[in-house]
Structure 1
Amino acid sequence: MSLRNKVTLIGRTGKDVEIVKFENGKIAKVSLATTDHYTNGLGEKVEETQWHNLTANGKIADIMEKYVDKGKEIAVEGKIVYRNYEDKEGIKRYSTDIRVDQLVLLSGK
């Protein structure tokens, strides 16, 4: 993986893993919440959550399908992938995903 497009995230999954099967394999999809805490200029403590769409294939998809449930804490490393497509109404939509290359399971069941 190139160091020019690399992301590392630690967070909790927002739903159970969705598996999309194809003739020659499958893709695992799940959302990941990362939360940052800081104090703003007024001295107030602020909690800010960002949501990330994760996709994985191959052995990582197998591991995610078997071991990752909603609320599981995981660490991932991968690359940012930008996609665009037209929806059913013909409106152009944009999506940003993290294509997972490495996965670490941090919390037990």
Structure 2
Amino acid sequence: MDKIVEKIVGLGIPGLILLVAINVSGYAGAAAITSSLAILGGPAGMLGGIGILGFSVYVSMAISKYSFDRIYTKTIEGLKEKGETKESINIKIDKYPISRSLKLKLKDLLENTHG
């Protein structure tokens, strides 16, 4: 098991995402990987799951390069340019399936974002 975890750590964030999905799946072996990829991929199935893992590489690289706060601030600015209000963005944050602490951080950043 240690060797498997070592290989997954080598994959970085996508490996962690896959490891969590496998753990939650309730299956073992190849069935765990297959079902986890299918769950991650949603309607696109296993190929979609592989795409999600690939996309997560780019997201994690962007976060490490630019920081979460800067990416979030730019996203808020983009939403406001498209006509979103602080209230409508707050409503979206409330609906996201994320932790309470992250919701609070996002709302704090939203309140402190100018524009």
The TM-score with structure 1 as length reference comes to 0.21
Q: Which of structures 1 and 2 has the bigger CA Rg?
A: 2
The TM-score with structure 2 as length reference comes to 0.20
Kindly indicate which of the two structures has a greater share of residues assigned to helix. 2
Higher relative contact order (CA 8 A, sep 6+): 1
Kindly indicate which of the two structures has a greater share of residues assigned to strand. 1
